Amino acid sequence: MKQRYVLRVNGRGMEAAAEAHESLLDVLRENLRLTGSKKGCNEAECGSCTVLLDGRPVVSCLVLVPDAADRDVVTIEALATDGVPHPIQRQMVEQGGVQCGYCTPGMIMSAYALLLDNPDPTDDEIRFAISGNICRCTGYGKIVKAVRAAAVEMKGQAGNGGAAS
């Protein structure tokens, strides 16, 4: 039996008709056509479906739709603002952290969650934060570098913003 669920995705209220056993990932991808979150395993092992749920990173293939109802979901599609990529996105490109790109959205969401929590992480903290995200192409080094560079850039932006206002 399909039911209607109200989800708050990327700051907007959205309705989806789904069965209670369907995953948030499937609803995002199929009902809402937000396909930036990838399905690398559907068994909570690869991290390619990572989104933020009330500010915490979760593997959305493991979250049932009813458990996401009336909570804040943030997906990769919301990270760029007005067409300007988020610093993590830009640094991933610049540092060579993107190859096939299939892990990339989930990886960026894990890194985004980390930087929300900890704006100045060590490399070990970055590695730990993305350890649930498998990347088969890059060997992770350039991803760690990109997250570190993004953290520096974001602190700089925050600092400048403060000075200017």
Residues within the interface to ligand FES (CB under 6 A): 39-42, 44-49, 59, 61, 98-104, 135-138
User: Position 119: which residue type?
Assistant: P
Query: Which residues 15-44 are close enough to bind other proteins by CB under 8 A?
Result: 29, 33, 35-43
The item of ligand FES, other proteins, none sharing an interface with residue 59, based on CB under 5 to 8 Å by kind, is ligand FES
What's the CA gap between 143 and 137, in Å, rounded? 11
Q: Does 143 bind other proteins (CB under 8 A)?
A: yes
State the sign of the Cα–Cα–Cα–Cα dihedral 108, 110, 115, 116: positive
119 φ/ψ sector (left φ>0, alpha ψ -120 to 50, else beta)? alpha
Contact segment (CB under 8 A) with other proteins among 9-17, 62-70, 74-82, 112-120 equals 74-82
Exposure of 6 by Cβ count < 10 A (0-12 exposed, 13-18 middle, 19+ buried)?
exposed
Note the residues at the interface with other proteins (CB under 8 A). 29, 33, 35-43, 45-46, 48, 75-77, 79-80, 85, 89-90, 92-96, 98-105, 108, 126-128, 130-144
